[in-house]
Amino acid sequence: MSRIFILDEIIVKPGHAAAYLEAYARDYAPSAQRRGMRSEGRWRNPPVQDFEELPTTLYFMWSVEDVAGWWRMRLSRTDDGADERFEKLRWWQETEPMTLNRKRSFLSSLDAEP
Amino acid sequence: MFVALRLITLPQAQILQRDAQLAELRLGAAALKGVASSWIAPALDGVAINAGHIVWRMVFATEREAMAIRQDPAWGRAIAPLLAVTEVTSVGYRVTRSAVRLAGPGIWRALIFRVMPEGFPAHAHAIEAGLMMMPKYVSSIRSWALSPVALVEGPKAFTHVWEQEFDDVSGLTGEYMTHPIHWGVVDSWFDAECPNYMVDPQLIQVAVEIDRTIMGSATAPAA
């Protein structure tokens, strides 16, 4: 099987997009990359800029190599061998006050189907 | 049909004597009354998560008999002394949703988990529906049962027991784990990164080798 894509759609409260992006780059992206996730792109809506009256939806597309890579990501461990899920959960819980909603989808390419 | 499933953790000093403990437990279990079937086996190390060392799965006709088993004099005589120095995690459950195919050797596996309180009832129903889709798509599952927990003994208030049988362990480590119904659909309730994460991370996965189907009512005799 070819790469598996992971799409995060995060609706950030009005006025919080810059802070969320900064936290994401500092605290989430490096650990995701350590888990074998490759960044495939980032998008925002509304486009181009934030509007203080409106929430901003941020889209982060990641990928992992295959199903085995997906499970390595899912069952990752910290450097000292502990289950990393508690660290992951802490990140999502700590940033939740900046958000209104979020969704994570796992995708496969239609073009890669047998 | 009511199942009493006990996962027994031996003290460090007794781990090397696990076979002797198994033999004594089987001997003691054979003297118990009201047990429709009993299966006592060592937990398979390679796939175990918080599983302990010995698995004891007893089947009773009703919950009443399961609850009364510790009043059996044979329990006090033979079983209680054996368990006194161990840690026991026990769940009791009525099996109502299952499909069992009588078959030969293989492995029995159970995932014992707790849906967090805020997950009831909507998420719990969704998790149950998702799990029950798996046997349709994962061909290595030859028997299955999904049961709500009615009795629990131990530090964790488990809510569900998800049991399957496979022809061999590769049915679990292979197709079961790699099918997209698992990692792409059902796992999200177990994944701390997904917004619908709703299952307590301290769960139990346990598997044992079986020489025939142990699920269902027409299974192994008391042993």
- Residue B178: its chain A contacts at CB < 8 A? 67
Assigned domain for B110 exists: yes
- pLDDT for position B221: 44
- Helix and strand counts by DSSP (H, E) for chain B: 8, 9
Q: Which of B177, B194, B197 lies at the smallest CB-CB distance from A71?
A: B177
Interatomic CA distance for residues A48 and A62, integer angstroms? 21
Whether B85 maps to a domain, the answer reads: yes
Report the domain count for chain B.
Answer: 2
Q: Establish if A86 touches chain B: CB-CB under 8 angstroms.
A: yes
Structure tokens at B92: 């009791």
CATH classification of A4-108 is 1.20.120.1760, yes or no?
A: no
Chain B contact for A77, CB < 8 A?
no
Whose tokens are 């496979």? That residue is B166
Does B48 have pLDDT greater than 80? yes
For residue range B172-196, list pLDDT tens digits in order: 999 999 999 999 999 999 999 999 9
Query: Does the CB of B188 have a partner CB in chain A at under 8 Å?
Result: yes
Domain boundary among B63, B94, B125: B94
Assess if residue B223 is contained within a domain: no
Residues B75 and B162 in one domain: no
pLDDT (mean) for B138-157: 96
Q: What is the mean pLDDT of chain B?
A: 94
Q: ipTM of the predicted structure?
A: 0.93
B150 touches chain A (CB under 8 A): no
Question: B184 CA to chain A: closest CA distance, Å?
Answer: 6
Domain assignment of residue B103, given as a range? 97-210
Statement to judge: residues B105 and B199 lie in one domain: yes
CA B179/CA B79 separation, integer angstroms: 41
The answer to whether position B187 is within a domain reads yes
Among residues B165, B30, B10, B160, the alpha carbon closest in space to that of B91 is found at B160
